[in-house]
Amino acid sequence: MALTTAVAAHDSDAVVSETQESSIESSGGARVVAEGLRKSYGKQEVLAGLDLTLAPRSLVAVAGSNGIGKSTLLSCLAGTIRYRGTVRLEGQRVGGATRGRIAYLPQRLRLPGSSSGREVMKLFKAFARGAADRVELPDGFLPPLDKPVGQLSGGQAQRVGLAAVLQGSPDLVLLDEPFANLDDEGREQAHRLLRAHRDAGATVLIASPTALDLLAMIDRVLLIENGGIGFDGAPSRYAGSLEMTVWVRPGDVADETLVGLAHVLRTRREGDWVALECHEDRAIGLLRDLEALGIDADRVRLGGPVAEARVSASPGVADGSDVR
Amino acid sequence: MTTALVTFQARSVIRGRWSIVAIAGFAIAAAMVALLGLGSFRQLGFGAVGPAAVSLLNLALLLPTAQALLLGALALSGERESGFMAALRARGMSSRTAIFATWFAVTLSAWLSLIAGFAVVAIIVAGNVPMADMPVFFSIMLICGASAAVAAAIGVLVGSAVTNRLQASLVAIATWFLLALGLDLVVIGLGVFLSLGEPAILLAVLANPIEAARVSALLLLDASGSALGTMGIYLSENVGYAGSLGLLIAALALWTIVPLGIASFILGRRDL
């Protein structure tokens, strides 16, 4: 069954034009309304009646495991694939009427290698229909633009692609894993750039497998599960719902005792260590339980969150022996 | 917007490695034909069906068409595969614009091959053929240009229909073999077996754009049509010289417009 998502308006006070405001009002305050999106590849249904509403001036992450439908959702919203259902941008069906208002960076975009960065920028600028750039690029973001794109590194080409599609004043910005290949500085600059677009009125949707690196900058997380939206909420709530691993050297404490702890979802043993998986917001409770069992802090190590586990829910790992 | 895309595509395709190789390759091959056939050009000029003129004609009908077919298929399928077309589609690029821009860029690349090749030939044969043959020389170049435009349109159609670049190149090569050799062999085989008459053979010519271009060029070289055998006589008796040329050129125009229309239709109705 399709899950309807709530509108999460960002409370920034950026300027949105009067005509846009009236179109947004006519579409119930939402900039993008997608209803009953269905898309299949052969017999595999990737989107199964997905409903989605996106507010103006919002920065939203679409998370989910590989092949779950993140890119397909973005392609539907961009109007670059055929699907069943409707996508409306401020009340207008995505297509001819919304020309120039959607910026889309596909995953692993490969720009023509013999063209220079400047030529790519010029081409996308032409498709921005003369609209002035809503946001200026951070200094030093772009590599030398006279070089053919084929001679740029993967990260440099990604910067050109990102800068090219963001030209003009797109109302809906769809980015499929836009930070791939970017170095730390480029990533930081890209984060600032997207926040600036959001603050200037754009709706920005970013696909990322875990969204973990985006939590500090986004307003909302959508997790795709089973062809619909499995989670829709604030980044803090999303982070709490992720699973993490607490590694324990139990010593005299029996594995069965660890298995029985209240917050533990799954366990597995690897040598002297036992991995206890729990939701991130339950980790403190688990640590207290371990302390109560007499397991000192020096016998405990914290692992990173395992976002994909929430989606795939596959217990244990191949190289470890399950104890539950 | 359309101008910006056409300019971008033309630069991108012409600067591509394969375009440069094809342009240089055709110029070298044409130079070799001109040098080897210099005696024939001296004797018969360019305004007659001589071995050198026919060799150059066949070369100009086969190599640039192969270039256009392959580049057309690869350019369009490559842009789809790379996500470049999707990024532009989201910004409002129509399928028609995408198809036209790619076709124009590829055609221009093939025309550059023809210009380079024919320019080299002109330099080599200058002083050895009468100036009166120049109109025929340029007319033949135009016919070859038209066949290259047709091949580019078919290539773009292939590129719009296949799923990836590998498939595009395989289908493009197979299509070129079919048009350059396969259909001729079928017509020859069936012609003998079924005793096909001239009208059926004319239909077969119109159904193959490379053959239509070849017949047009041979009519330009020999207005009597005698070089074309009984079909030439049939054409001059039933349609006349101008009518025959008009019919064949109309076939070439249709062979350009129809594939482009189908490609635009397909591209507008498939996932990018």
If you average pLDDT over residues B77-105, what whole number do you get? Answer: 94
pLDDT tens-digit profile of A225-236?
Answer: 999 998 899 988
Name the closest residue on chain A to residue B17, using Cα atoms: A114
For residue B83, the model assigns a pLDDT of: 94
Continuous segment of H or E residues that includes residue A134: none
CB contact under 8 A, B91 and A124: yes
∠ at Cα A139 (A133, A142), nearest 5°? 75
Task: State the pLDDT confidence band at B233, using cuts at 50, 70 and 90.
Answer: confident
For residue A316, the model assigns a pLDDT of: 37
For residue A79, give every residue at least 6 positions away whose Cβ sits within 8 Å of its Cβ, in sequence order, or none.
A87, A94, A95, A98, A102, B89, B90
* Residue A103 clears pLDDT 90, i.e. is over it: yes
| Range with top average pLDDT, A293-297, B184-188, B206-210 | B206-210
Who wins on pLDDT, B171 or A25?
B171
Amino acid at B31: A
Who wins on pLDDT, A28 or B157?
B157
The residue among B17, B89, B91 with the most chain A CBs within 10 A of its CB, best to mutate, is B91
For residue A153, the model assigns a pLDDT of: 93
Residues of chain B found within 8 Å of residue A111, distances taken between Cβ atoms = 82, 84
Is the CB of residue B172 less than 8 Å from the CB of residue B85?
no
Domain A12-240 has CATH 3.40.50.300: yes
Lowest pLDDT segment from A89-98, B13-22, B29-38: A89-98
Who wins on pLDDT, B139 or A61?
A61
Name the closest residue on chain A to residue B13, using Cα atoms: A114
For residue B86, the model assigns a pLDDT of: 94
- The ipTM is 0.85
Could you tell me the two tokens for A279? Answer: 């939701």
Q: Matching CATH topology for A12-240 and A242-319? A: no
For residue B193, give every residue at least 6 positions away whose Cβ sits within 8 Å of its Cβ, in sequence order, or none.
none
Q: Whole-angstrom distance between the N-terminal and C-terminal Cα of chain A?
A: 32
For residue A13, the model assigns a pLDDT of: 34
For residue B97, the model assigns a pLDDT of: 94
Residues of chain A found within 8 Å of residue B89, distances taken between Cβ atoms = 78-80
CB contact under 8 A, A100 and B87: no
If you average pLDDT over residues A115-134, what whole number do you get? Answer: 90
Tokens 């197979």: give the residue. Answer: B174
Phi-psi map region of B182: left, alpha, beta (phi>0 left; psi -120 to 50 alpha) = alpha
Taking only residues 42 to 101 of chain A, the set having a beta carbon closer than 8 angstroms to any beta carbon of chain B reads: 75, 78-82, 96, 98-100
CB contact under 8 A, B269 and A82: yes
For residue B104, the model assigns a pLDDT of: 96
Task: State the pLDDT confidence band at B153, using cuts at 50, 70 and 90.
Answer: very high
For residue A22, the model assigns a pLDDT of: 55
For residue A258, give every residue at least 6 positions away whose Cβ sits within 8 Å of its Cβ, in sequence order, or none.
A248, A250, A264, A267, A274, A276, A323
Task: State the pLDDT confidence band at A9, using cuts at 50, 70 and 90.
Answer: very low
For residue A121, give every residue at least 6 positions away whose Cβ sits within 8 Å of its Cβ, in sequence order, or none.
A145, A160, A163, A164, A167
Is the CB of residue A30 less than 8 Å from the CB of residue A23?
no
Is the CB of residue A4 less than 8 Å from the CB of residue A36?
no
Name the closest residue on chain B to residue A168, using Cα atoms: B91
- Report domain A242-319's class: alpha beta
pLDDT tens-digit profile of A54-81?
Answer: 999 999 999 988 889 999 999 999 999 9
Measured CA to CA, the distance from residue A53 to residue A89 in angstroms comes to: 10
CB contact under 8 A, A102 and B16: no
Could you tell me the two tokens for B43? Answer: 């004797």
For residue B134, the model assigns a pLDDT of: 82
Report DSSP state, residue A47: E
Whole-number Cα distances in Å, B245 to A47, B151, B213, B215: 55, 19, 10, 9
Share of chain A above pLDDT 70, in %: 85
Burial of A19: CB neighbours in 10 Å, binned 0-12, 13-18, 19+: exposed
Who wins on pLDDT, B68 or B16?
B68
C-beta atoms surrounding A313 within 10 Å: 11
* Residue A5 clears pLDDT 60, i.e. is over it: no
For residue B123, give every residue at least 6 positions away whose Cβ sits within 8 Å of its Cβ, in sequence order, or none.
none
Domain positions in chain A are 12-240, 242-319
Helix H segments across B162-240?
A: 165-177, 183-194, 198-206, 209-221, 230-238
If you average pLDDT over residues A235-253, what whole number do you get? Answer: 86
* Residue B54 clears pLDDT 90, i.e. is over it: no
Of B11, B12, B92, which has the smallest distance from its Cβ to A127's Cβ?
A: B92
Rg (CA), chain A: 23
Is the CB of residue B260 less than 8 Å from the CB of residue B106?
no
* Residue B39 clears pLDDT 90, i.e. is over it: no
Share of chain B above pLDDT 90, in %: 60
For residue A318, the model assigns a pLDDT of: 33
pLDDT tens-digit profile of A24-48?
Answer: 555 567 889 999 999 999 989 999 9
Task: State the pLDDT confidence band at A3, using cuts at 50, 70 and 90.
Answer: very low
pLDDT tens-digit profile of A285-308?
Answer: 898 899 889 888 888 888 755 544
Buried/exposed code over B56-90 (b: 16+ C-beta within 10 A; e: otherwise): bbebbbbbbbbbbbbbbbbbbbbbbbbbbbbbbbb
Residues of chain A found within 8 Å of residue B88, distances taken between Cβ atoms = 123-124, 127
